């Protein structure tokens, strides 16, 4: 048990999927895992452990933003010995070629600032995904026939962004989408020598203003979860 995770020793699997929304964690656990058991509900940040095709998996909510994810990822790695952490979440598309419902596999994650900034100081560290997970996720997406993009994303530290000039530069430099957590996850994975990947569903688009209808979200997010699970155990 830690300050933020109430699970007992042995209740967290080595493979952890991390959606931001705790209720998305609940939905994913009920939809994809067998014998899913609630192992954390501290501060309402739900976590479940069960099995997928015989493999133990934990699905633990991370909250919104890098500071919140940093708390849960640190405790999962240091106190529960998690070895593979995969963020599953939504993002905003930033390229004309990226469509609503597409999946983005984040090879790198650019950012203005993360909780790790104090460690790196003047260094602009370039956090990236684990290659074995990325390669397996690409193969899983191809098998499913899911339209997928692989490349850089932007992890923003604000949701209500008022920097159109920065968004323009992100688009100009090929950034596929924007979200709020992956860069810090990749930093922590590098620091603690564990595997990490962000598998993201495009739920809205910064260029077109399109947004995924609420009734379509579960089906589209399901592809993302299946890709993440397949990649974790390939």
Which residue of the set 21, 157, 161, 204 is catalytic? 204
**Residue 175 annotated in ligand binding:** no
Is 184 among the annotated ligand-binding positions?
no
Please check if 89 is assigned to a binding site: yes
Compute the 3-state secondary structure of the chain and give helix, strand, coil in percent, each to the nearest 5.
Answer: 35, 30, 35
Q: Please tell me whether 6 is known to bind a ligand.
A: no
DSSP per-residue letters across 174-199: T--EEESSHHHHHHHHHHHT-EEEEE
* Backbone φ, ψ for residue 155 (5° rounding): -95, 105
Task: Establish whether 179 is an annotated binding residue.
Answer: yes
Are the C-beta atoms of 12 and 76 separated by less than 8 Å? yes
174 marked among binding-site residues: no
Residue 90 labeled ligand binder: yes
Residue 204 in marked binding region: yes
Question: Annotated catalytic, 223?
Answer: no
Output the known binding site for phosphate. 20, 24, 43, 87-90
Output the known binding site. 4, 20, 24, 43, 87-90, 179-181, 203-204
Instruction: State the catalytic residues.
Output: 204
Output the known binding site for a purine D-ribonucleoside. 4, 179-181, 203-204
């Amino acid at each position: 048990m830690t300050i933020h995770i109430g699970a007992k020793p042995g209740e967290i699997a080595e493979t952890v999927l991390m959606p931001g929304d705790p209720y998305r964690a609940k939905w994913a656990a009920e939809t994809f895992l067998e014998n899913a058991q609630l192992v954390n509900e501290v501060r309402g940040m739900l976590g479940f452990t069960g099995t997928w095709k015989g493999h133990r998996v934990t699905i633990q909510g991370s909250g919104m933003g890098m500071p919140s994810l940093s708390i849960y990822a640190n405790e999962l790695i240091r106190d529960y010995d998690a070895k593979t952490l995969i963020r599953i979440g939504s993002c905003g598309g930033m390229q004309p070629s990226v469509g609503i419902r597409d999946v983005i596999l984040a090879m790198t994650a650019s950012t203005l600032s993360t909780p790790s900034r104090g460690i790196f100081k003047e260094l602009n560290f370039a956090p990236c995904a684990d290659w074995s997970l990325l390669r397996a996720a690409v193969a899983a997406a191809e098998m499913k026939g899911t339209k997928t993009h692989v490349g850089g994303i932007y992890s923003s530290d604000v949701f209500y962004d008022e920097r159109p000039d920065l968004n323009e530069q992100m688009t100009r430099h090929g950034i596929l989408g924007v979200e709020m957590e992956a860069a810090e996850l990749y930093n922590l994975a590098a620091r603690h020598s564990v595997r990490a990947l962000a598998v993201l569903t495009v739920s809205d688009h910064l260029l077109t203003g399109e947004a995924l209808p609420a009734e379509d979200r579960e089906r589209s997010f399901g592809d993302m979860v299946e890709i993440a699970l397949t990649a974790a155990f390939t």
